[in-house]
């Protein structure tokens, strides 16, 4: 049997439920979780219910709404919440080159190379750039064999050969030389 539900009763019920939940959890954490739904009406409801200062969240919500790309907006939410892997995942969906440059900076700063290899699968040119950056990271830390392999995977044959020479792996160095 189907019951008729009054929509205003649902809103009142959800406000009461939100009020109850706001007593159980940290209001800032509740606000952050609401942000990750990307539903700005819910975020506003949570902010008012948890008595957040409108001077704090209203300009931030306006900034998020102003982004032309929803992927970039989602990136910004996760970046601001310091969920960098999730932020990179959202930014990887953007086709814009300027967003890739920002993603590459994030990858290097937060050392998200392995995540980036997954998120950029199928985007060969960007993937090669990430592999070379990963090779640079490994080279700086003294993992020369791994760096050489990453350079090779990123089609940076000169760096690959030099790194294999530094690691004294002459056989791989000659193998890379044969490909050049």
- Chain centroid, CA 34 distance in Å: 18
Query: What's the mean pLDDT when you consider all of the chain?
Result: 87
Does residue 129 form part of some domain? Answer: yes
Report how far apart, in Å, the C-alpha atoms of 39 and of each of 15, 79, 98 are: 15, 17, 26
Per-residue pLDDT reduced to its tens digit, 162-177: 998 898 988 888 887 8
**Mean local confidence (pLDDT), 75-90:** 96
- pTM attached to this predicted model: 0.80
Instruction: Report if residue 47 sits inside a domain.
Output: no
pLDDT tens string 87-112: 999 999 988 888 999 999 999 999 99
Closest Cα partner for 114 from 91, 137, 144?
A: 137
Report if residue 139 sits inside a domain: yes
What domain count does the chain have? 1
Q: Could you say which DSSP state residue 25 is in? A: S
Asked if the structure places residue 40 within a domain, the reply is no
Residues 66-78 as b or e (16 or more Cβ within 10 Å = b): eeebebbbbbbbb
> Among 17, 6, 157, which residue's Cα sits nearest to residue 172?
157
Residue 165 within a domain? yes
Structural domain containing residue 170: 122-180
pLDDT digits (tens, 9 = 90+) for 2-35: 455 454 544 556 677 777 777 778 888 989 999 9
The verdict on residue 27 lying in a domain is: no
Residue 46 has pLDDT above 70, yes or no: yes
Mean pLDDT throughout 60-86? Answer: 94
């Amino acid at each position: 049997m189907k019951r008729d539900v009054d929509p205003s009763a649902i809103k009142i019920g959800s406000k009461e439920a939100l009020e109850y939940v706001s007593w159980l959890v940290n209001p800032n954490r509740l606000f952050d979780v609401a942000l990750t739904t990307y539903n700005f009406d819910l975020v506003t409801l949570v902010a008012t219910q948890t008595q957040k200062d409108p001077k704090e969240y209203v300009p931030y919500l306006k900034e998020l709404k102003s982004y032309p790309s929803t992927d970039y907006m989602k990136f910004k939410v996760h970046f601001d919440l310091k969920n960098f892997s999730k932020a990179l995942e959202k930014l990887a969906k953007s086709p814009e080159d300027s967003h890739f440059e920002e993603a590459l900076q994030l990858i290097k700063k937060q050392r998200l190379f392995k995540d980036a290899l997954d998120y950029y699968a199928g985007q060969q040119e960007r993937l090669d750039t990430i592999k070379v950056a990963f090779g640079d990271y490994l080279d700086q830390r003294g993992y020369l064999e791994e760096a050489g392999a990453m350079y090779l995977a990123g089609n940076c044959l000169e760096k690959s050969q030099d790194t294999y020479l530094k690691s004294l792996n002459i056989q791989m160095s000659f193998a890379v030389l044969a490909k050049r």
